[in-house]
Structure formats: C-alpha cells, structure tokens
Amino acid sequence: MDLSIRVLKPEEKVDKMGSNEEVYLKGTVVIKRTKSEKRMWKTVKDTFKTNHMFMVTFVLFVIVNISVFVLAAIFPNWEKMYKDTPEFFALIQQNVCHPLGTCAPTVEHPLGTTYLSYDNLICLINAAKNSLIIGYGAAAISVPIAVFVGIIGGYKGGTLDNFFSMITNVVLVLPIISIYMFIAANVGAQDTPIVILLIGLLTWPWAARSIRSQVLSLKEREFVNMARVTGTGSVSIALKEIMPNMLSYILLVFAMETAIGIGTEAGLTIIGVAEPSGITLGMMLQWSLNQSFVANAVTRPDIYSVLWLSPGIVLLIIIMIIYLLQASMPQIFNPRLREK
C-alpha cells in the first residue's frame, strides 16, 4: 500500500477522501493510505502469463486432482476380486496370471491385478484420492496452528513468543513414529480421520518457525508502524495488516504441508505403524514389501514389476507436482523476484 503523512494545522479540516482511500487520525497526524490491491493483482495476473513453470505445474495439479476424484467416483469398487471368474482361470492356463491372484497387464486390466486379484489401476486411482485427502486434511489442521503460533508469537514477542517457541521446539523433536505406535497400541489409530489428525498435530512446527521469521521482518515495515501510530491494537495489526501480506506465503506453506502429509502417511503405512481405513499409496507400497513383489519381479517381471513400481511412481509424481508448484509461487507474489 502507498502511504503518505502530513501534519494538520489546528484550523485545517480533513477533506473527505475518495472511495479508494482510507484516512486515520491520531492527534494532529493524518495518515492517508491509498489502496493498491487492483494494481498488485494486475501485476500478479501478468506474472501468471510469463511464469511458465507455474502455469504448467498448476495445470497439471488441477488435471491430476480432477481426474483422480472423478475417476474414483466412477470406479469406487477397488476391492472387487477377479480370481473366481472364468477369464481368470483361462489366463492362468496361459501363464498370464498366478493362481493366487496376481496377473500381468491385459486389455481388461491395463496395470495387472494385485495379490488379492484387485484391479491395480482402480486401486491406484482410489489410493491416490485417499492420499490426497489425507494430505489436504493434515494441511488444514497444521497450517492454522502454524499461522496462529507464527503470527501472534512473532508479532507480540516477549513471554508469549518464548512460550510458543518452547512448544514449537518440543513438538519439533518429538519422535512421530514412537508417538504414533503408542497411540495405535493404546487408543487405536486405524481410521483415516485419526491418521489425518495425528499427522496434522505433529507436522506444524517447521511452518510456524518459517512464518514467525517472515513476521519478524514484516512487523518493522512502514505500514505496520503507521498502524501503530493510529492506536490500532496488536491483534488487529497482526490479523488485518500482517496476515494479508502473508497470504501468498501461507499458500506456499499449505502446499508443502500437503506434500508432507502425503509422504508421512506413506512412510508410516509402509512400516506398518499407520493403517488408514481406505486404500492409500502407502498401503499399496506396503503390499509390495509384504508380498515380496520386488523379489518376485526378478523371475516374473511381467507381473510384479508393475505392481511395485506403479504406486511409487504415482506417489513421486504427486509430490513432485506439489513441490514444483510451491517452488514457483514466490516469483508470482514476490516483487523482487518478479523484477529478476
């Protein structure tokens, strides 16, 4: 925002400002604030057109999300078994399928079938959907906590900031695997909502630290000092002045927390600590380890290679798209990077 200050003489009156300006009075000081949101968003819009990496990754991100959720709604029955059908027995005779249920890719099953004779492609679609839900859900929990701790603590400083920093440091060093194992053993953490809640409550500290560092820089800017001069309260300054200037950074943090949530669930599920109620990419990778798909791929690569490679590739693609998306965000919203 553009700022201008002038001192009024006692006999002067403050003229009524236009609709695009705000006037604050404090004693004899008039602080006039000219809004420049339209100009800022026009600059951002122009940068969208020139930032090709952001455009490509954003389009891919939208396509992946829409495709996954639409296809999962069309093919929700990922637990349908195919090993008791006449076609399956015919494929066993042709050495295309294993008697236990795994099959090489065919026209009916482009990515083969799993060890329980589930269609691998349908499993991947539903697993990707559930992994995205876990990632978004965990981010929806961790980001508000990080924003509150980072902005309020960073702006207020003093005892409150020290208290928040102590909590952040404690949570940061907590062994997430041990905590999850303890909760799973004593409470039961086998439902997806519980998995989301635990990941969200244990992955916010790094975001709170990074947001706090941004606040420490912003709170010394001119527009914040002007708000202090007007007598605006600390909470109001934090929420109305500092937070709006951090929306782009918070969006970046949300993207990273989503990727962290997806990766954390996959890691916990692979080692058998977490077990969401629905199929996830981590669960499919766990199948690969438990059923020795990697070892069996040496003797039957036509069947087992796809089964252990496909969930890993899908997981890598989703996380890479989110990473590239957030990596290109600073150039969109940071004026200094736009100039470069």
Q: Are residues 139 and 196 in the same domain?
A: yes
Q: Are residues 21 and 125 in the same domain?
A: no
pLDDT value of residue 189: 56
Residues of the chain whose pLDDT is less than 70? Answer: 1-50, 184-190, 292-299, 302, 331-340
Total tally of structural domains belonging to the chain: 2
pLDDT value of residue 42: 58
Helix/strand/coil (H/E/C) assignment for every residue in the chain = CEEEEEECCCCCCCCCCCCCEEEEEECCEEEEEECCHHHHHHHHHHHHHHCHHHHHHHHHHHHHHHHHHHHHHHCCCCCCCCCCCHHHHHHHHCCCECCCCCECCCCCCCCCECCCCCEHHHHHHHHHHHHHHHHHHHHHHHHHHHHHHHHHHHHHCHHHHHHHHHHHHHHHCCCHHHHHHHHHHHCCCCCHHHHHHHHHHHCCHHHHHHHHHHHHHHCCCHHHHHHHHCCCCHHHHHHHHHHHHHHHHHHHHHHHHHHHHHHHHHHHHHCCCCCCCCCCHHHHHHHHHHCCHHHHHHHCHHHHHHHHHHHHHHHHHHHHHHHHHHHHHHHHHCHHHHHC
**pLDDT single digits (tens) 92-145:** 777 777 777 788 888 888 888 887 888 889 999 999 999 999 999 999 999 999
Q: Are residues 2 and 74 in the same domain?
A: no
pLDDT value of residue 117: 81
pLDDT value of residue 208: 92
Alpha carbon distance 176, 174 (integer Å): 6
Whether 243 is covered by a domain: the verdict is: yes
Q: Are residues 143 and 191 in the same domain?
A: yes
Q: Are residues 12 and 51 in the same domain?
A: no
Q: Are 248 and 214 in contact (CB under 8 A)?
A: no
Q: Are residues 22 and 65 in the same domain?
A: no
Q: Are residues 333 and 271 in the same domain?
A: yes
Whether 125 is covered by a domain: the verdict is: yes
Whether 96 is covered by a domain: the verdict is: no
User: Residue 89, Cβ neighbours under 10 Å: how many?
Assistant: 12
Residue 256: which CATH number? 1.10.3720.10
Q: Are residues 246 and 139 in the same domain?
A: yes
Q: Are 120 and 66 in contact (CB under 8 A)?
A: no
Q: Are residues 17 and 129 in the same domain?
A: no
Q: Are residues 19 and 133 in the same domain?
A: no
User: What's the token pair of residue 260?
Assistant: 């962290």
* Strand partners for 7: 29
Q: Are 203 and 138 in contact (CB under 8 A)?
A: yes
Whether 90 is covered by a domain: the verdict is: no
User: What's the token pair of residue 159?
Assistant: 């005892």
pLDDT value of residue 47: 57
Q: Are residues 65 and 14 in the same domain?
A: no
Q: Print burial letters for 289-298: b (CB count within 10 Å at least 16), e (below 16).
A: eebebeebbe
Whether 268 is covered by a domain: the verdict is: yes
Q: Are residues 287 and 271 in the same domain?
A: yes
Range of the domain at 291: 37-80+118-339
Whether 106 is covered by a domain: the verdict is: no
Q: Torsion angle, CA of 35/36/41/47, rounded to 10 degrees?
A: -160
Whether 93 is covered by a domain: the verdict is: no
Whether 201 is covered by a domain: the verdict is: yes
pLDDT value of residue 100: 72
| HSE toward the beta carbon, residue 50, CA cutoff 13 A | 12
**pLDDT single digits (tens) 268-304:** 888 877 777 788 999 988 888 877 666 666 667 767 7
Alpha carbon distance 122, 234 (integer Å): 52
pLDDT value of residue 127: 94
Please identify which residue in the block is written with the tokens 């990778």: 285
